[in-house]
Structure 1
Amino acid sequence: MISDTIGGRIRQARSEAGLSQRQLATRLAVTTKTLENWEEDRSEPRANKLVMMAGVLNIPSTWLLTGDAPKEMKRGFDFQETMGISQKLERAMAMQVALSSLLEEVSSDVSRLQNELDSELEMEA
């Protein structure tokens, strides 16, 4: 079933791609609330986001706008590779957060040790 609205087509394409609202929003660099508003037809994406979304979902942007499917448009995409990349990206982002925390700890330890060394040197002088 093809939806009569841009929001419905966005929701349909996202669902067929096997993506959650959060996953698609992350790929488009928008908030989940923004994507929800698009899907509920409370607002519409700007042209650059519409083109980006069409690329992410591997569908023609004209279909998102009009609902008219070109004859060569294929349905039932295989998104396994995209999902694998998405999972890797999510793991990398989690690793970045963990690394950032570790770097803060190391920086704090280095500062503490430097202060201790400075204090010892002052006492010796």
Structure 2
Amino acid sequence: MGGRLSRARDATGLTTAELARRLGVKTSTIQAWESDRSQPRANRLTMLAGVLNVSLSWLLHGIGASPADESRSELVQAVSANLKRLRRLHEESGRVIAQIEQDLLRASNSQ
């Protein structure tokens, strides 16, 4: 569990001291949890999951979405949205190019 705790803390950008302060424990306690020298009690586990924005089942057993998985899915969504936007712009550019070509053809035929 210590590795998952450390990973989730890193994903949220918290230091051990900041996490300790939020939970009302000592920094050494967080360090002991992360190195698997001790385990948090049930009430602290629930608080940890909430503060770190992970599910309790992921924190305890590694079951479910990890913080990195959520970040990846957000990245995929952002890239997909940008790709959609780029395709729309590409289509619009094609229409503008076709219109300019027609205008040039009309202008050259009227001379």
TM-score, normalized by the shorter chain, greater than 0.5:
yes
Match of 1:108 in 2: none
Q: AA paired with 2:53?
A: N
**Secondary structure of the equivalent of 1:30?**
coil
Q: Are 1:76 and 2:84 counterparts?
A: no
Match of 1:66 in 2: 61
Q: Are 1:49 and 2:76 counterparts?
A: no
* Structure having the larger proportion of residues in helix: 2
Work out which of the two has the higher radius of gyration on C-alpha atoms and give 1 or 2. Answer: 2
Structure 2: how far apart are the matches of 1:60 and 1:68? 9
Match of 1:99 in 2: none
Listed as ranges, the matches of 1:13-32 within 5 Å are: 13-32=8-27
Q: Are 1:40 and 2:43 counterparts?
A: no
Query: What do residues 9-54 of structure 1 show as CA deviations (whole Å, max 9, x unaligned)?
Result: 0000000000000000100100000000000000000010000010
Contiguous gaps of at least 5 residues in structure 1: 1-5, 79-125
**What is the number of equivalent residue pairs in this alignment?**
72
**Secondary structure of the equivalent of 1:26?**
helix
Listed as ranges, the matches of 1:105-116 within 5 Å are: none
Shift of 1:75: 1.8
Output the TM-score relative to the length of structure 1.
0.53
Output the TM-score relative to the length of structure 2.
0.59
Contiguous gaps of at least 5 residues in structure 2: 75-111
Q: AA paired with 1:53?
A: L
Q: Percent identity?
A: 49
Shift of 1:76: 2.3
